[in-house]
Structure 1
């Protein structure tokens, strides 16, 4: 099979690199500094010590059997023309975006094609110019196709010591479970801290717990049963996050077992003055809540606060992270107004 990664940034390049290490035929579509970077050997590592060195192929083939779409939710509309140049009648498109429902943009643009979804749980950082590092745990979960052989081919293309792969028939529930974890992304971006440092502060954890409470209420009213996508089931996370620091560090030791430098994708977006995925994360919770006639004031407040931060950053090169008391106070004010 001929694979193509469209959107070869941190996640896309890591996935494409792993496929290359597996001996797959894969082209990577990249621009600017990423295109230059991928024309040289790339080192792939993870927090467990696994390692591979690969030389990727940059957009050689015109079309592909499988397109792995790894652009951000905010870039889906812009990439449609690129996809049209690469799809054939049999091409399968795998959407690897955060959030819930973003794949519908691709389904509407390509109604005759099979569009599958993948949940990518881990973070990837650029350790050095030619070194991509997966700094957190999690199994990539693929939506099962009606074609069992195709599902197995896709899983085999990715399965490697650097990436654990699972498949599921209920990707909707998996994406909601992943969305619950992603609700910490905006907090991390506003705090301007590594994820580990953020989680060591109860104030930030209380904000994340409040955001998660609203999501759990939404999925309960939607009759969605969340699967376990991390070492702790999502229904227990708000309680654990609210524990005092000394107890949290003991009970949730595995949650803190991540590289101390890891930051979320939303932090990177703010850092690079790019639009964030706020509408596909907090907005997805708010949209579902509205459809059910219930409220999600904390998630609504996060959208407004991140939006304000985006505007401020676009007008000023500098920014300082919000301390947890500041963030708690601002969100409470936002949620009440």
Structure 2
């Protein structure tokens, strides 16, 4: 039995595709979410690839981990919820059960390995964007893909024939590469922007390019390997963000079918006053920089801006020009 932990957008999409393919799935959720989830008749996922929505049987719901029945665990929560999830995993869970981290931050799998050294903790990268519309109803706004370590055939084969395409991961280098792309999430959050805005607005694109350049410099200084899931080289991607106008947006539309109004979940987190992953993403670059003896002022500033905007009710979003000005004070000359 496959256990999906977390009823958010990613957890709902995973449970839906796996259940529709005939997998035995249970969804672990907090008790507060049980009434709304129990009221739904099925999982419904609207798909950017066209055609009718995916409709799948609703998985069995649980608030605990049954160590006797679980064969794989997919952890689909945000970084602030990771510790509470770890507390739910019982010591009696067989060591053969892999713990697959779907979290954006590479530090998540490190924490799982610390808490559960007897288990195999695997980093997986969610290479699709999804939005939760209501309990057990989600929208996938890109072609659904998941980056997995192919050497662990048990996990990869769980997705065979589901409609979610497994993509080969290259260890933690892939997780760090995904983090580099996710640095733009904070920009979208503080400016209330979509992916199209980030990839086509020149001021937002320049701000992201600065964050990206700084992060790459930090990872190289720390000698951390990284490999971004891109159809072009990372250096070409950096150049495109600087000089190619809206080409990155049209490339994403062509390659991944990125929907017009798609946005990262951090936008919704800010809008609803929830904790964000800015510290786990941009903040991780800051911590790596400190350990390597270098600075990361731009990513540090982004963490501060997310905290400031998120603390306001309602949020007072920054314009692209205001963001550019805020980051400009920290640009190295």
TM-score, normalized by the shorter chain, greater than 0.5: yes
Q: What is the Cα deviation at residue 7 of structure 1?
A: 1.1
Q: What is the Cα deviation at residue 275 of structure 1?
A: 1.3
Q: Which moved more, 1:109-118 or 1:6-15?
A: 109-118
Aligned partners of 2:12 and 2:137 also within 8 Å: no
> Secondary structure of the residue that 2:280 maps to in structure 1?
helix
Deviation digits for residues 100-153 of structure 1, max 9, x if unmatched? 2222222222121121111112110135665322112463111345xxxxx223
Aligned partners of 2:273 and 2:311 also within 8 Å: no
Q: What corresponds to 2:82 in structure 1?
A: 76
Distance in 1, matches of 2:298 and 2:161, equals 39
Aligned partners of 1:141 and 1:167 also within 8 Å: yes
Give the TM-score, by structure 1 length. Answer: 0.87
Aligned residues: 322
Distance in 2, matches of 1:250 and 1:113, equals 43
Structure 1: gaps spanning 5 or more residues: 146-150
Q: What corresponds to 1:17 in structure 2?
A: 16
Answering whether residue 325 of structure 2 is matched by residue 323 of structure 1, we say no
CA RMSD of aligned residues (A): 2.4
Q: Which of the numbers 240, 250, 263 marks the counterpart of 1:253?
A: 250
Q: What corresponds to 2:299 in structure 1?
A: 299
Q: What is the Cα deviation at residue 74 of structure 1?
A: 1.1
Q: Cα 1:89–1:220, aligned 2, differ >3 Å: closer, same or farther?
A: closer
Answering whether residue 170 of structure 2 is matched by residue 157 of structure 1, we say no
> Secondary structure of the residue that 2:54 maps to in structure 1?
strand
Distance in 2, matches of 1:250 and 1:275, equals 32
Q: What corresponds to 2:47 in structure 1?
A: 46
Q: What is the Cα deviation at residue 194 of structure 1?
A: 2.0
Q: Which of the numbers 114, 119, 127 marks the counterpart of 1:108?
A: 114
Q: Which moved more, 1:227-236 or 1:81-90?
A: 81-90
Q: Which moved more, 1:124-133 or 1:287-296?
A: 124-133
Give the TM-score, by structure 2 length. Answer: 0.88
Answering whether residue 232 of structure 2 is matched by residue 232 of structure 1, we say yes
Q: What is the Cα deviation at residue 255 of structure 1?
A: 2.5
Q: What is the Cα deviation at residue 4 of structure 1?
A: 0.4
Q: Cα 1:89–1:216, aligned 2, differ >3 Å: closer, same or farther?
A: closer
Q: Cα 1:193–1:101, aligned 2, differ >3 Å: closer, same or farther?
A: same
Q: Cα 1:184–1:298, aligned 2, differ >3 Å: closer, same or farther?
A: same
Aligned partners of 2:16 and 2:56 also within 8 Å: yes
Distance in 1, matches of 2:306 and 2:248, equals 31
Q: Which moved more, 1:50-59 or 1:178-187?
A: 50-59
> Secondary structure of the residue that 2:138 maps to in structure 1?
strand
Aligned partners of 2:146 and 2:164 also within 8 Å: yes
- Matched ranges for 1:1-337 at <5 A: 2-31=1-30, 32-33=32-33, 36-37=36-37, 39-49=40-50, 51-59=53-61, 62-63=66-67, 64-84=70-90, 87-127=93-133, 131-137=137-143, 139-144=145-150, 151-160=152-161, 162-168=163-169, 170-243=170-243, 247-250=244-247, 252-256=249-253, 258-312=258-312, 316=313, 318-333=314-329
Q: What corresponds to 1:148 in structure 2?
A: none
Distance in 2, matches of 1:135 and 1:99, equals 21
Aligned partners of 1:192 and 1:320 also within 8 Å: no
Aligned partners of 2:48 and 2:142 also within 8 Å: yes
Distance in 2, matches of 1:255 and 1:78, equals 35
Distance in 1, matches of 2:79 and 2:278, equals 10
Distance in 1, matches of 2:102 and 2:22, equals 21
